[in-house]
Amino acid sequence: QVQLVESGGGSVQAGESLTLSCAISGVSANTYCIGWFRQRPGKEREGVAVVDADGNSDYADYAKVRFSISRDNNKNDLYLIMTGLKPEATGTYFCASGPFFADHTSLSGFHDWGQGTQVTVAS
């Protein structure tokens, strides 16, 4: 059974940085596609960035410049480094895994989800 546990969220000021972590168990992170998604207040869940088993990544346009996704296959961990945060980044951030490559827009391709970690960016 796959389990994903996010951590690292918090409250920051605009312009500051946060690093989110996701501990993955029950599956080899080297085998599955894993990614970060978010749900902002009043909005639908959306993709942030994903990384496949070969280390290839795919980002949402808003995340391409200031966000960075990485995975540690030895620890089965996933990370999201977010810099220069803006208030519109406020939301709950989730990590998820899926059996095949899916880009950041293909939420249905990710079958297992964590509970999320809250990110709040104050202006």
Q: pLDDT value at position 102?
A: 87
Record the tokens describing residue 74, joined without a space.
Answer: 């030895």
Q: How far is residue 6's CA from residue 24's CA, in Å, rounded to a whole number? A: 9
Q: How far is residue 69's CA from residue 59's CA, in Å, rounded to a whole number? A: 9
Residue 22: CB partners within 8 Å, gap ≥ 6? 4, 5, 6, 7, 34, 36, 77, 78, 79, 95, 114
Q: pLDDT value at position 72?
A: 87
Q: pLDDT value at position 32?
A: 84
Other beta carbons within 10 Å of 40: 15
Residue 44: CB partners within 8 Å, gap ≥ 6? none
Q: How far is residue 28's CA from residue 42's CA, in Å, rounded to a whole number? A: 34
At 65-115, the pLDDT tens digits run 999 999 988 888 999 999 999 999 999 999 999 988 889 989 999 999 999
At 3-32, the pLDDT tens digits run 999 999 999 999 999 999 999 998 776 568
Residue 43: CB partners within 8 Å, gap ≥ 6? 91
